[in-house]
């Protein structure tokens, strides 16, 4: 888990808290009826546990409290490790009434994720595993936590998305002897997608076709860096990404020097639309479509869950960044100059 130590590092605490509070109220609407792990397994129960009026009052005033860090622990790193390791000590994983106050518990979960950036991968992995193991005491609690991990770390629209961290979640579920096989179906499918072209691995090679009909291969591109830009001509965000890269002096200088090659690739099948858009792609870039016989770049080789999608590769076509945003690409490129 190479990047879990950096999880959510680019988001301020106030943004994290504000975002989670804003979305907590609509969480059931967005995710309540979706399938989390397999057909027949709900991500979160749409119907909250039935409680009496007296119980509802008690639940409304049932605070989530953090563990008290011993005064003898003074080192900041050790204090963070203790807090993360004991974060859920005051939460009963068998008590479903916690789910009757979703705003509060989702806020606690969001804050927990932000704390992971202050500890080591080993501690974070153990903490995540502990949550999943303890939540098995109550199925609805297990569904809720796995749903939260999915929502925050795997959903393509989440600003907290981190597939490397989410891999820790699904790997633990898959390897747990206490989780029924039916609950492992979705995690296995997700892990299969996550494992495609992970950072540190050599990117899958493929054949592409240029507008003039010539073909080439990804691994045949000669440059210190290759930026693989998956796009759709009719996608507004793709246009914004293209314009950002075009207007970046650092990117332009690297392209002109030959150190960086940008392969703008349309992975779908509407070739006429792609051809009509070709004048929008800078002539110094490689503008291509899927050149494989079975059109397998998107269906088999790369997990393109949303576009635009940027992959930054080194001279050996090893993945440096996967599904990155433009703001992440520039620092890596300039650091290597």
Q: Is residue 244 part of a domain?
A: yes
Q: Is residue 90 part of a domain?
A: yes
97 and 224 assigned to the same domain: no
Quick check: bond before 308 cis, omega within 30?
yes
Q: How far is the C-alpha of 175 from the C-alpha of 167, rounded, in Å?
A: 12
* pLDDT at residue 293, rounded to an integer: 85
Q: Is residue 200 part of a domain?
A: no
Mean pLDDT over each residue of the chain, to the nearest integer: 85
Q: Is residue 133 part of a domain?
A: yes
184 and 233 assigned to the same domain: no
Is 262 within 8 Å of 238 (Cβ atoms)? no
Range of the domain at 320: 207-335
241 and 316 assigned to the same domain: yes
User: How confident is residue 11, by pLDDT bands cut at 50, 70 and 90?
Assistant: very low
Between the two ends of the chain, the Cα-to-Cα distance in Å is: 27
Question: In the listed set 142, 173, 194, which residue is the last one of a domain according to the structure?
Answer: 194
Q: How far is the C-alpha of 325 from the C-alpha of 313, rounded, in Å?
A: 14
Q: How far is the C-alpha of 265 from the C-alpha of 262, rounded, in Å?
A: 9
311 and 182 assigned to the same domain: no
pLDDT tens per residue, range 47-96:
344 545 555 545 555 789 999 999 999 999 999 999 999 999 999 999 99
Spell out the residues 6+ positions from residue 122 whose beta carbon is closer than 8 angstroms to its own.
none
169 and 253 assigned to the same domain: no
Of 163, 303, 315, the C-alpha closest to 226 is 315
145 and 243 assigned to the same domain: no
* pLDDT at residue 159, rounded to an integer: 84
* pLDDT at residue 263, rounded to an integer: 99
> Taking 50 as the threshold, does the pLDDT of residue 221 lie above it?
yes
Question: In the listed set 194, 227, 251, which residue is the last one of a domain according to the structure?
Answer: 194
Q: In what order do the strands lie in the sheet with 319-324?
A: 215-217, 207-210, 286-290, 260-266, 225-230, 309-313, 319-324
CATH number of the domain within which 318 lies: 3.40.30.10
How large is the average pLDDT for residues 209-228? 97
- Give the residue with greater pLDDT, 308 vs 56: 308
Q: Is residue 199 part of a domain?
A: no
Q: Is residue 36 part of a domain?
A: yes
* pLDDT at residue 117, rounded to an integer: 78
**Dihedral in degrees, nearest 10, Cα atoms 102, 107, 110, 112:** -110
Residue 310 Cα distances to 221, 225, 234, 269, 289, angstroms: 16, 13, 17, 20, 15
In 3-state terms, the chain is what percent helix, strand and coil (to 5)?
50, 15, 35
88 and 146 assigned to the same domain: yes
Q: Is residue 305 part of a domain?
A: yes
User: How confident is residue 5, by pLDDT bands cut at 50, 70 and 90?
Assistant: very low
163 and 302 assigned to the same domain: no
pLDDT tens per residue, range 156-212:
999 889 999 999 999 999 999 999 999 999 999 999 999 999 999 999 999 999 999
Q: Is residue 201 part of a domain?
A: no
How large is the average pLDDT for residues 234-239? 96
Q: Which of 156-170, 211-225, 323-337 has the lowest mean pLDDT?
A: 323-337
Count of domains observed in the chain:
2
16 and 110 assigned to the same domain: yes
* pLDDT at residue 190, rounded to an integer: 98
* pLDDT at residue 61, rounded to an integer: 54
217 and 299 assigned to the same domain: yes
213 and 190 assigned to the same domain: no
182 and 83 assigned to the same domain: yes
Question: In the listed set 171, 194, 217, which residue is the last one of a domain according to the structure?
Answer: 194
* pLDDT at residue 160, rounded to an integer: 86
């Amino acid at each position: 888990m190479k990047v879990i130590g950096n999880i959510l590092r680019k988001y301020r605490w106030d943004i994290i808290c504000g975002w989670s509070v804003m979305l907590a109220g609509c969480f059931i609407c967005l995710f309540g009826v979706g399938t989390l792990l397999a057909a027949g397994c709900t991500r979160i129960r749409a119907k909250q546990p039935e409680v009496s009026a007296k119980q509802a009052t008690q639940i409304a005033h049932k605070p989530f409290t953090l563990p008290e860090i011993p005064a003898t622990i003074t080192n900041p790193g050790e204090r963070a490790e203790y807090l993360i390791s004991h974060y859920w000590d005051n939460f009963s994983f068998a008590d479903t009434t916690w789910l009757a106050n979703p705003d509060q518990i989702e806020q606690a979960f969001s804050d927990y994720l932000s704390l992971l950036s202050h500890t080591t991968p080993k501690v974070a992995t153990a903490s995540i595993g502990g949550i999943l193991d303890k939540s098995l005491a109550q199925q609805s609690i297990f569904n809720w936590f796995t749903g939260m991990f999915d929502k925050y770390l795997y959903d393509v629209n989440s600003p907290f998305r981190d597939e490397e961290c989410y891999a820790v979640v699904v790997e633990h579920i898959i390897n747990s002897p206490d989780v029924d096989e039916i609950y492992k179906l979705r995690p296995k499918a997700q892990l299969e997608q996550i494992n495609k072209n992970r950072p540190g691995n050599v990117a899958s090679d493929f054949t592409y076709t240029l507008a003039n009909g010539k073909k080439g291969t990804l691994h045949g591109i000669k440059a210190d860096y290759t930026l693989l830009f998956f796009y759709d001509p009719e996608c507004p965000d793709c246009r914004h990404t293209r314009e950002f890269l075009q207007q970046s002096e650092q990117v332009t200088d690297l392209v002109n020097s030959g150190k960086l090659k940008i392969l703008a690739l349309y992975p779908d099948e509407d070739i006429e639309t792609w051809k009509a858009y070709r004048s929008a792609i800078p002539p110094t870039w490689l503008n291509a479509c899927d050149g494989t016989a079975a059109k397998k770049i998107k269906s088999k080789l790369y997990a393109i869950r949303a576009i635009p999608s940027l992959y930054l590769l080194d001279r050996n076509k090893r993945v440096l960044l996967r599904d990155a945003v433009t703001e992440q690409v520039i620092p890596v490129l300039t650091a290597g100059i």
